[in-house]
Amino acid sequence: MKNIKLAIILVFVTLAYISKSQEDKTHLLDSNKVVWDSKEVKELELNVDKYVPVKWATKVVKVSSEYSKDDKSAGQALGRPNAITACGFSKYAWAVKEKNGEESSDAANIIVSFSSPMLIQQIAIAESFNPGAISEVIIHGINKEKQTVYTAEPKAVSQKCRMLNIFMERPSDFMVDKVEIKLEPGKVPGWNQIDAIGISDVKDSVKVKINNIPNLKFDTKPERLSESINTIYDEDAPMISPDGKTIYFVRKNHPDNAGGYQDRDDIWYSKLDHNGMWTPARNSGAPLNNKHNNFVQSITPDGNTLLLANLYIKDGTTADGVSITYRTREGWAFPEKQIIDGYLNLSKYANYYLSNDGRVLLLAIEGKDSYGKLDLYVSFMEEENKWSKPKNIGESINTPQNDFSPFLAADGVTLYFSSEGYPGYGDADIFVTTRLDETWENWSEPQNLGNVVNTPGSDSKYNIPASGEYAYFASEHNSIGKKDIFRIQLPKIAKPQAVVLISGKVINERTNKPVDAKIIVEELPDGKEVAIARTDPNTGEFKIILPAGKNYGFRAIGLGFFDSNKNIDLTDVDEYMEITDEFLRLNPIEVGQVVRLNNIFFETAKATLKPESFPELDRTVKFLEDNKNLEIEIAGHTDDVGADDYNMRLSKDRAQSVADYIILHGIDSSRLIVKGYGETRPIAFNQSEEGRAMNRRVEFKVLKK
């Protein structure tokens, strides 16, 4: 070819489970030299991995023929290519209407527009199945300019799919905002499909490839869970608890469902026993299950709160929305409606996910500002059971097709989701992306999890425990019934960032009995609230997951008790770990009761408060505001290092610093008495640094209730 190589891209897509007509499908998505205005176009030496800026069509202006208004519609030609990598007949690419059970042979055309006009040097058309039917391509300008840039005699080509790159010798003479494509389907046997239409201002070929995680390699194959969970019935939509010890899933049309075998979706669950075996699955029963569709969407780290799809009505019916249920001493509470400001879903489908910290709600819904069908949105907790107006997380993730099934990992930044809008291995693939800032609109380029997890079908409901050791999902491949629940061990490169799982109990200091309490976690020193958990009302147990590498303060709140505070420093932790047996002891509010302020920090040998003390002091102010009749003694204590008189002065000065802060923030000084006890009232031996640290403290005692 005149001693100049034509650069091509080979995209090999192995589809392991596909119909016989598509077996061993290795195909070429090529860059074709095409004459523009009958002038020779110089062939290009191209860098295969070079990024080529391209704008994909965003709107169908006109179409003469389409298979339906949904599957294989003209709208399926919008956005980036998503069907061409499968190189087969797909509902996610445009096809003309059907006539007598076959593709209509009538000539057809489509006109698409772009988000903004530009001078172009290339048009890229993803012919995803049976290419060659295109007879003419016309560009349209913003001032009604019109120019034919490609003509050809339609005929079958050797490839099953291709990327048709139409180059021009120089930039277009006008700003292009629309592209028109004419095709003659009758001249190319089989259904002809177009997946995407793009324009670019560079001559380097626009290519398509699946954006896999680099160097991703699974060491094991997917493992079907035991027959304690999987049956001849349809098991779907698994949700593993963050500690990895309980799994909820949907079992379809089972005789033990709330509505019997006609009940399509009931919530079932299984637990890991002490031998690491799954117990026989049980139906969750009422109120989680009724005769309608029931799904668990997420589980909080403590296992005591479930996010459920749909609204639960007292008469046993359901409605569009999302609900939360809490574990009580008697079982699960009736699911509470979550009030979402301005909630609107134009689709009959929806998914939701509640972040591990309980403060962020992800939604897969179709709003008025959606880029296509289902988009991912984010909403923030404003108060209990009330959420902010959903915010679209942006086109760096959302596509003109369905983007759904969000799962936010325990680190709070790694998002796994399913999409029909990216090049992949099937109808919908699972992707991973990382949140880059606090706007929730900036994300890394989504990466495909590969064909070990993704199949030719629709893959979704992917989720992982806090450890990141396994991913859980449902699949029909190698199942014993319809869909079964599987898991696969994750390589390090596919895991989210490290977190720490903290478990413990909240108990009554006087009786050692469990307390029904709320746990609030704050990031120190700024006091930003980062997590909320509830104790199991029967045992007082709680579990919290926190991103590693930071310092945190804990606060347990129980009705009729003083708050209990503690801090855990995880700044030096850089891998998953578990901290167990963390006890938070709550003291009942009684005259004479002494409460330690745990998260109070002073500069060494001084009475100057450090900023990380302010969140604890602010909570003390709020406690005194809520209990307006309380009068307290603020007492300072030291260890036995140093002279007695020095320690006495230091302890009183530190107590005074605390009192000054409280008074400055609005509490009447008449309610406070300041005392310094120096080293005279130790609560631990001073022989070790740990004991001395316990003795260096500030407390308050209730004088009047």
pLDDT mean for each 10 residues of the chain (705 residues): 36 32 35 35 36 90 95 94 91 94 94 96 96 97 96 94 92 96 95 96 89 92 94 95 96 94 93 94 96 94 93 92 93 96 95 93 97 95 95 94 95 95 91 95 95 89 93 88 92 92 91 91 85 88 91 86 85 91 86 85 92 90 88 95 94 96 96 95 91 91 90
Reported pTM: 0.75
Q: How far is CA 237 from CA 242, 247, 252, 295, 548, in A?
A: 16, 10, 11, 8, 29
C-alpha to C-alpha distance for 555 and 100, rounded to whole angstroms: 70
Give the CA radius of gyration of the chain. Answer: 31
Kindly give, in sequence order, each residue whose CB lies less than 8 Å from that of residue 23, ignoring residues fewer than 6 positions away: none
The confidence score (pLDDT) of residue 12 equals 30
Q: Which residues of 401-430 are buried (b: 16+ CB within 10 A; e: fewer)?
A: bbbbbbbbbbbbbbbbbbbbbbbbbbbbbb
The confidence score (pLDDT) of residue 567 equals 84
The confidence score (pLDDT) of residue 217 equals 92
Beta-carbon count within 10 A of 284 CB? 20
The answer to whether 95 touches 192, Cβ cutoff 8 Å, is yes
**Range list of β-strands (E), 313-411:** 318-328, 331-332, 336-337, 339-340, 351-354, 360-365, 375-383, 386-387, 391-392, 403-408
Domains of the chain: 9-200 (2.60.120.260), 223-494 (2.115.10.20), 498-588 (2.60.40.2190), 590-705 (3.30.1330.60)
The confidence score (pLDDT) of residue 51 equals 67
